[in-house]
Amino acid sequence: MSADIIPRLEKFYNEGLGKRATRTLRNGACMELQIDREAYSFQKVNGKMQISKGVPPKRDVVVQFKKDALERMLTAVDEDELRRRLVDSVRKMEIMFVPFLVPPKKGTEGMSKEEMQLYAVQWLAWNGYIFWARRMRFI
């Protein structure tokens, strides 16, 4: 991956077309971006997205990109074009959204599968990921 990817991603998500997509994420929301299997930490701090190379110590979600799909996303000129490119990339499985299930503090013993699924959805919604994934057309 090119050396300028971190500044390009930060500009896209803090000033460009991606800014609207990340505004629903809460401060402290942390995910891992995998760009052709290369890991980047993606975290919202004080309302801004901060990106660094490497696996984040605590990740809530993994978003896997193929390099070509990321380039198409970063070069979109307006929101409609970005949306079309994202939908196309998701359909081709060039972009994948993988939420991590975080067990409740009380533990998962005695919880049914349905209770675990409900907990996971509530947790993801609380942290803003459901709204973000819908905006990015992952779900």
Q: For the chain (length 139 residues), average pLDDT per consecutive 10?
A: 80 88 83 87 91 85 86 90 84 73 52 66 62 61
Residue 10: the pLDDT is 92
Helix (H, G, I), strand (E, B) or coil at 106: coil
Q: Containing H/E element for 125? A: helix 113-126
Which residues are CB-contacts of 26 (< 8 A; sequence separation ≥ 6)? 44, 126, 127, 128
How far is the C-alpha of 117 from the C-alpha of 60, rounded, in Å? 15
Residue 65: the pLDDT is 86
Residue 25: the pLDDT is 82
Q: Which domains are present in the chain?
A: 5-135 (3.30.1050)
Residue 125: the pLDDT is 62
Nearest of 76, 66, 27 to residue 48 by alpha carbon: 27
Per-residue pLDDT tens digits for 57-80: 887 778 888 999 899 989 999 988
